[in-house]
Amino acid sequence: MTSEIFVLGAGIVGVSVALHLQERGRSVVLLDRNAPGEGASFGNAGLIERASVIPYAIPRDWRALLGHASNRNAAVRYDPAFLPRIAPWLLGYWRASHPDRLKKIASELLPLIEACLGEHERLVDAAGLSHLLRRDGWIEVVRSAATLEEAGRRSADMQATYGLASDVLDRQALTRLEPALRSAAIGGIHWRDPFTVSDPGALTKGYAALFEARGGTILREGVNHIAPEGAGWRIATENRSHSSAEVVVALGAYSNTLLSPLGYRIPLVAKRGHHMHFRPEGEATLRHSVLDEEIGYVLSPMTAGIRLTTGIELAAPDAPANRIQLDRAERRAREIFQLGMPVEDKPWLGLRPATPDMKPVIGPANRHPGLWLAFGHAHHGLTLGPATGRLLAELMTGETPFADPSPFDIGRFL
């Protein structure tokens, strides 16, 4: 097949790029080994995270670091044999977590995060997917009076600095919003700006269906390699090849597989994440997604049940899925909410592609004309997918970009 542009990767980022290019009159083929909306786009916590303007950093507090180093908590787990393989990445992440650098990184990401709700709403309306979207925010619960006091200060600071809407909840106010939450949760913060999604995989599939309905082509083929050919590109798949004037690599954690033979080696590490769905116990209901940050998990009301999503696991990407973090989180989650029996027999595993400076790679591959990049969104793939699609499409078509693209340029790693 020959097309003006091939977008490689049918997760939320790749589908969003394809839609934005299509809207600008480009002929686009979306290509992936799997159906749209699989991988990390399927298994996240379903948060369109307007409120998380500060990236997830390595804590500087020694007590928090000791907690992670113990390898016994639910928020972060690591395979000791894997850490030497990613030591340079960890060092870069540690340096980027310095408060001054973190503040700068947050300011660079902010235009994308500010655009996330509007870009999603436009696509949701066009695709007829409003039944998947809730616009009432999410709740961060706390377990102690000291943590509630700190949460109040943080809420006020985020309102003053970033204009975010939030309410600090005592136990009574929390019960009004979520009557089924147990007494271990003594209060929290209701972050009111974000949207939540009841089925992230279905949302991405719905966006892909919109792309097809508008005349786009989706191919289910795995890509073996890409190479320059004349003034364009050749895309070799498992059993045939395609020609394209331009190529977008949006393969998440697998992007280096195609880029390394071309001389690019992006410091990209897959943060592993697991989830399982549970039936509520008895008549218990959960109205909002709930983050228990002190422990490190999210409970989200989903179409399939209450989704328990874990924090970060640093282990080989191809290592089997496991229940280690899930079991730790489940025990503590039952202190907060009445979880019943699990819906699935086995946990789901996904890979969150993360760079050491916590920013995605968006823009041209500066050594090869016609090669474009969009990956490395870590925990914010669902949040930033449509905003990324818009930014990259504007760059590819010569429009004035709505956000400064320079912080996301691949040149920072070359």
26 domain residue, yes or no: yes
φ, ψ at 100 (rounded to 5°): -65, -45
pLDDT of residue 69: 87
d(Cα 140, Cα 121) in Å, to the nearest integer? Answer: 24
Does residue 44 contact residue 348 with C-beta atoms inside 8 Å?
Answer: no
123 burial level (CB within 10 Å; 0-12, 13-18, 19+): buried
d(Cα 360, Cα 42) in Å, to the nearest integer? Answer: 19
d(Cα 137, Cα 40) in Å, to the nearest integer? Answer: 21
19 burial level (CB within 10 Å; 0-12, 13-18, 19+): buried
Count the neighbouring beta carbons within 10 Å of the beta carbon of residue 282.
9
Q: Which own/partner contact pairs does 120-125 have at CB distance under 8 Å and 24+ positions apart?
A: 120/48, 120/195, 120/386, 121/195, 122/386, 123/16, 123/19, 123/207, 123/210, 123/386, 124/203
| Domain, as residue range, for 258 | 2-42+201-268+356-413
363 DSSP β-pair partners: 373
pLDDT of residue 66: 86
* Intervals of the chain under pLDDT 50: none
Instruction: Return the structure tokens found at 253.
Output: 């954690």
13 domain residue, yes or no: yes
Tokens 């914010």 sit at which residue? Answer: 380
Does residue 163 contact residue 113 with C-beta atoms inside 8 Å?
Answer: no
pLDDT of residue 73: 87
pLDDT of residue 260: 96
pLDDT of residue 139: 98
Write the CATH number for 374.
Answer: 3.50.50.60
76 domain residue, yes or no: no
pLDDT of residue 62: 83
Does residue 227 contact residue 236 with C-beta atoms inside 8 Å?
Answer: yes
151 domain residue, yes or no: no
Look at strands 361-364 and 371-375 and give their pairing: antiparallel
d(Cα 314, Cα 14) in Å, to the nearest integer? Answer: 25
pLDDT of residue 63: 83
pLDDT of residue 15: 98
d(Cα 29, Cα 3) in Å, to the nearest integer? Answer: 7
The tally of domains found in the chain comes to: 1
48 DSSP β-pair partners: 195
d(Cα 178, Cα 167) in Å, to the nearest integer? Answer: 14
d(Cα 95, Cα 91) in Å, to the nearest integer? Answer: 6
231 domain residue, yes or no: yes
Q: Describe the crossing of helices 87-96 and 99-127 by its angle, rounded to 10 degrees.
A: 100
